[in-house]
Structure 1
């Protein structure tokens, strides 16, 4: 399986074009009103059409109800669903059965014991996004907080697990992160922004170039 690069939280045609032109494998659209990267169903629909056939489209949802899922799938028609809340393994499997398309589940990591849940999610998830556990503040988001966890915690993980590394990645550290953890994929959002929710085309291009070079060095 080829290593994958995902740019998440895209919300303008211009920055989406930058990600597509730079060769992103996946592009993510956030459906979470508290996030500065949130897109309406109408905007998500238009961005999805722009990306169709050029990258795999991902819609990010946080503890969605069935109606939330149905609306996002109808409007955005994503290739994958990303679940970034407190969804249980059973709920992940249920959503996967409902949408009949691949699902990725995000897990927050701060210490070694946070990885104990991996096995229970692995059977029902096509990708497991390992993100830094959000800080315990009222304004913290489930993801996209620009913080990383200790990548050495991943030493000894089963290489067969479909791990996507996230959390605090940026153009300057993604190569080192890949070297240390050998993930199947990497995911970035705030690390390619000039401000909350404001994607920077040059940072997107630099991130993809650095990640692609690092992945190639491991092959």
Structure 2
């Protein structure tokens, strides 16, 4: 079982060995492989297996799926052997719990936040998911889920039940990640487009800058001092 208590930095949407190694060398704790065909970060199973073998033993491997059924999830787990499943679709709490049973792995459920009322939805998943990934809601005309590089109002999380473990996503980048961590005190952070030079194209320098800033901010909170 992955360590759910340590602060985790996740680089999601990696698709090449070069950028994956850059993330590992910079100290990423988790790497995300995106299986949603409409995403510019989509990887085939064959490419994902190649990337997973590079990362195995150095970082936790997260498989991002959108509205899959239990059979599909179980087959992916058998082939890829990831450490986590990340559900980024419209999965209900019941479906989330079922996917956890089917895959036999911890599950991270992504939920969009745009207003205080969304926190009630978060609470309904606390027993179904091992972690919640709080993201910005996508634009109404978006072709795929996720925050699309936009942050949400982090102040909304002041009313979130402190007993709910969550990671923060949505519009994070090297310039704002320290502030995001200071405001929200998450158990981890997740970035994709914020470390890219173009949609789906990861930038090794931005990855390193992001991880360094996040690590410094998290360490400052643990010590009880400003970053």
The TM-score, its normalising length taken from structure 1, stands at 0.97
1:81 to 80, 85, 90: 85
Decide whether the 8 Å contact of 2:96 with 2:129 is kept in 1.
yes
Decide whether the 8 Å contact of 1:82 with 1:104 is kept in 2.
yes
The alignment of Structure 1 onto Structure 2 pairs a total of residues equal to 218
CA RMSD in angstroms comes to 1.0
* 2-structure distance, mates of 1:160, 1:177: 19
* 2-structure distance, mates of 1:99, 1:146: 29
1:111 to 90, 111, 115: 115
- Say whether residues 1:200 and 2:203 are aligned partners: yes
Question: Structure 1 residues 178-187 or 69-78, which shifts more?
Answer: 69-78
2:159 to 136, 156, 160: 156
1:213 to 207, 211, 216: 216
Q: Deviations over 1:31-75 (max 9, x none)?
A: 000001000000000000100000000000000023321332122
Question: Structure 1 residues 144-153 or 164-173, which shifts more?
Answer: 144-153
* 1-structure distance, mates of 2:11, 2:163: 23
Decide whether the 8 Å contact of 1:104 with 1:128 is kept in 2.
yes
* 2-structure distance, mates of 1:47, 1:112: 38
Gaps of 5+ in 1: none
Deviation at 1:77, TM superposition (A): 1.0
Gaps of 5+ in 2: 223-227
2:179 to 154, 172, 176: 176
Decide whether the 8 Å contact of 1:32 with 1:38 is kept in 2.
yes
Aligned to 1:124: 128
1:29 to 29, 33, 52: 33
User: What SS does the corresponding residue of 1:11 show, helix, strand or coil?
Assistant: coil
User: What SS does the corresponding residue of 1:95 show, helix, strand or coil?
Assistant: helix
User: What SS does the corresponding residue of 1:112 show, helix, strand or coil?
Assistant: coil
